[in-house]
Amino acid sequence: MNVSYHGHSVVQIKTDQHTIIIDPFINGNGQTDLKTDDLKVDVILLTHGHNDHVGDTIELAKKNNALVVAPFELATYLGWKGLNVHPMHIGGSYTFDFGTVKLTQAFHGSSYEEEGEKIVYTGMPAGILFKHDGKTVYHAGDTGLFSDMKLLGELEEIDLAFLPIGDNFTMGPEDAAIAAKWIKAKTVVPMHYNTFPVIEQNPQGFVDSLPGKMGKVMKAGDSIKL
């Protein structure tokens, strides 16, 4: 499969038959190279309900008749919006025709802001383990550092991991470097940085802090073949 990064927390996975996108925050994302009008996806995976992660899910799902996989409360909310959804929850996994999805813990919040100063609670946030053709991709979502990340390193063989480094809302570079060592991924890519002033970081500095050649900075549009 081919895995590409598209700014903020947007990750796209292409298999031989399917295109999957994670947290498709495109419009309003100054870091992305994608345009919703050009994007064709079969599946949308969501880590949590914040607007900079749900992003353009409703538009993309309706335009492409895409399946949306998300934590239960968020999936329920999006189902009410007319989307085709598959609800899951932390610790659960499900094997679809496009691959296996397992939701992991993430320590953060999860809510969706609607017009009129209305906040809709969308359940617990999650990380995502995506498995296909013997390879595993870990998208940590928005999270702080937590010790159970060590279990991921012990129980999973992660080929590629995306970790937030922006600080303020998530792990900063120092905590993300600890997480990288704990999960023992073959390749670690920083995400969720430089989109807003409050999360400005030096991704190369983070990568340089990791042992060996574990880290890799991916610019918007860069891809890795697994």
Instruction: Calculate helix-pair angle for 57-64, 72-80, nearest 10 degrees.
Output: 60
- In this structure, the number of other CB atoms found within 10 A of the CB of residue 60 comes to 20
Q: What local confidence, expressed as pLDDT, does residue 12 receive?
A: 98
> Does some domain include residue 178?
yes
> Does some domain include residue 117?
yes
> Does some domain include residue 140?
yes
What mean pLDDT comes out for the span 71-89?
98
pLDDT in tens, 24-45: 999 999 999 999 999 999 999 9
> Does some domain include residue 160?
yes
Q: What local confidence, expressed as pLDDT, does residue 107 receive?
A: 98
Q: What local confidence, expressed as pLDDT, does residue 113 receive?
A: 93
Q: How many domains does the chain have?
A: 1
What mean pLDDT comes out for the span 171-185?
98
- State the average pLDDT for the chain: 97
Range of the domain at 184: 2-217
Q: Which residues pair with 225 in a beta bridge?
A: 2
Q: What local confidence, expressed as pLDDT, does residue 68 receive?
A: 98
What mean pLDDT comes out for the span 185-194?
98
What CATH number is given to the structural domain containing 36? 3.60.15.10
> Does some domain include residue 189?
yes
Output the six-digit token pair for 151.
């279990």
> Does some domain include residue 223?
no
> Does some domain include residue 224?
no
> Does some domain include residue 225?
no
